[in-house]
Amino acid sequence: MASRPSVLVVDFGGQYAHLIARRLRGLGVFSVLASASWGLRGVEGEASGLDLRGIVLSGGPASVWEAGHDGIAEWAIGMGVPVLGICYGHQLLAKVLGGRVGRAPRGEFGPTTVEVLDEDVILRGAPPRIRVWMSHNDAVLEAPPGSRVLARSPGSPVAAFEYRLGGTVVHGVQWHPEVTHSEYGLELLRNWASQTGALGTWSPGDIVGELVDHVRREVPPGERAVAAVSGGVDSTVAAVIASKALGDRLTPVFIDHGLHPEGEVERALRLLRASGLDPVVVDASREFLEALRGVRDPEEKRRVVGRLYGEVLAREARRLGARYLVQGTIYPDVIESGARPGADVIKTHHNVGGLPRDLGLNVVEPLRWLYKDEVRVIASRLGLPRELLEKQPVPGPGLAVRVEGEVTPEKLRILRRADRIVREVIESHGLQRGLWQYFAVLTASKATGVKGDRRSYGYVVAVRVVESREAMTANIAKLPWSVLEEIASRITGEIPEVTRVVYDITPKPPATIEWE
């Protein structure tokens, strides 16, 4: 994968490094992340495996005076490829090139107007003033000797600069061109990337053959593999690719953990079959419920589900004589803050139920270099059902993180009914388009109600409906009151154990999308 023309994005701990890589990939530039926390040698090591065409130094929370990252900036400048510094990266490059960095005349946070002084390469065709997204206290006060100042703003005397010497081409921008709030951001990145020779060389739809070869290389002839499939896009795409590579040496395995929303198992199996897979279905629901008994802490629930999922999968692999496991892990899971790609540190949260790594199986991850939107492109190139692409995400631990506190069969039964009503009402009004997720949560609260002239004391159900692009942030959906009323009246009317329905009006951040 990495042998194609690539740009290395060095992550200095800002929240935007993945966004930079994704934007560049969207422009057809294969981009790989390296964390500054690996140190210069780690970053160099990552770069040495690439056909390196450019380097981006990202933003980050530190001050250039404290973090000791000069070595990485000096290394980048010496590599003979175009270098772009963004925010912290901009200041770092200016500093090591001999410019002056210090306290900004004023901090700039949020939308800021930048005055373009010189169009040069990166600002070619930009209007004289652009509204951009800034977030900084320090600023480049004087540009490095021999460089040109390309833009300024009230808080950034050198909001953008260009430095050229021999084969060295360095650009820095104080703002964040990678965020959609920045005008001219994508054009700026495209202009910069046009110097790398990598523009337009990457297209995820074209790499199906490469991914199939990868799996074929990883699983030696005569060996069998299982693929963990959940019915979600990533695991389905990984399994379809593996099945192209291995034919009947691959067995997809669907584990029913008994924590799925109503109808989800049938739907997942239907979609898997429509994708050309014929999974072995393992009903382990009793085991999971047993393991969850008395467990109240959300992260502990995730660990219990993940651990057991791994055990059941390993058991099934043994039964099938498979020593290899194909998983749909994607790039953001691989490269969480600070984790080296080879180091296998994965957030418990987001892979298939937080699978443990010590299952005694060789793990094959054909999608480990890809972002979600790229996996979707591959899914449609593979001709997988549209419904699969449009499905709302269901967390790996399923309803276990939507029942507050201990999970019991009774609570699952109540929650499934409430959840079905939420879905039915929203879909009957055709409101599902544009919604990222909509579901019910069974809270640990109880409240008093009157039903048929009798006082009753029952569960409080919360309804969560959000809009989002990629789950990093989310807004609450402003559903019509009449729809919310219909949901509340149906849930309390049809489910005797529920006395109240509340609507969660908290965006992400500060709340997460899931309740737990």
CA–CA distance, 65 with 477 (Å, rounded to integer):
43
Nearer to ligand XMP by Cβ, of 320 and 471: the residue is 471
Judge whether 284 and 273 are in contact, CB under 8 Å.
no
Residue 396 beta carbon to ligand XMP: minimum distance, rounded to whole angstroms:
3
Smallest distance, Å, CB 484 to ligand XMP? Answer: 21
End-to-end CA distance of the chain: 36
Beta carbon nearer to ligand XMP, 45 or 393:
393
Neighbours of 263 (CB within 10 A): 12
**Which SS3 state, helix, strand or coil, does residue 228 take?**
strand
Give CA–CA dist 173/461, Å, rounded: 48
Please state, in angstroms and rounded to a whole number, the distance separating the CA atoms of residues 211 and 367.
8
Pick 144 or 397: Cβ nearer ligand XMP: 397
DSSP state of 451: E
Rounded to the nearest whole angstrom, what is the least distance from the CB of residue 291 to ligand XMP in the complex?
16
DSSP secondary structure, 52-93, as one string: EEEEEE---SS-TTTS--HHHHHHHHTTSS-EEEETHHHHHH
Q: Which of 190, 302 has the CB closer to ligand XMP?
A: 302
CB of 176 to ligand XMP, least distance (A): 22
Nearest approach, Cβ of residue 508 and ligand XMP (Å): 5
Q: At closest approach, how far in Å is the CB of 230 from ligand XMP?
A: 8
| Element holding 456 (H helix, E strand) | strand 454-467
Query: How far apart are CB 260 and ligand XMP at their closest, in Å?
Result: 13
Among residues 128 and 510, whose Cβ is nearest to ligand XMP? 510
- Give 50 or 463: the residue with its C-beta nearer to ligand XMP: 463
Question: How many CB atoms are located within 10 Å of the residue 46 CB?
Answer: 21
Based on its alpha-carbon atoms, the radius of gyration of the chain, rounded to whole angstroms, reads 26
Catalytic residue among 18, 69, 136, 176: 176
DSSP 3-state of 447: strand
Q: Which of 46, 108, 162, 178 is catalytic?
A: 178
Catalytic residue among 87, 162, 171, 497: 87
Q: Identify whether 108 is a catalytic site residue.
A: no
Closer to ligand XMP by Cβ: residue 350 or 368: 350
Tokens (6 digits) for 11:
């992550």
- Closest approach of ligand XMP to the CB of residue 391, in Å: 11
By the 8 A CB rule, do 216 and 245 touch? yes
Length of the chain: 516
Nearer to ligand XMP (CB atom), residue 28 or residue 393 = 393
Q: What are the residues whose beta carbons fall under 8 Å from the beta carbon of 76, sequence distance 6 or more?
A: 10, 55, 57, 83, 93
Spatial CA neighbour of 233 closest among 433, 21, 380, 364: 380
Closest to 156 measured CA to CA, from 116, 194, 119 = 116
* Whether residue 69 lies in the annotated active site: no
Q: What is the DSSP string of 301-370?
A: HHHHHHHHHHHHHHHHHHHHT--EEE----HHHHT-TT--GGGT---TTTSTT---S-SSSEEE-TTTT-
- Collapse the DSSP code of 458 into the 3-class scheme (helix H, G, I; strand E, B; otherwise coil) and give the result: strand
In the bound state with ligand XMP, the residue whose beta carbon lies nearer, of 447 and 471, is: 471
Partner residues linked to 252 by β-bridges: 227
Burial of 321 (0-12, 13-18, 19+ CB in 10 A): exposed
Positions that interact with ligand XMP (CB under 6 A): 302, 349-350, 393, 395-397, 401, 437, 471, 508, 512-514
Query: Is position 178 annotated as part of the catalytic site?
Result: yes
Other Cβ atoms closer than 10 A to 428: 11
Q: State in angstroms the smallest separation of the CB of 30 from ligand XMP.
A: 26
Residue 442 CB neighbours (<10 A)? 27
Tokens of 31: 């981009």
Would you name the residues annotated as active-site residues?
Answer: 87, 176, 178
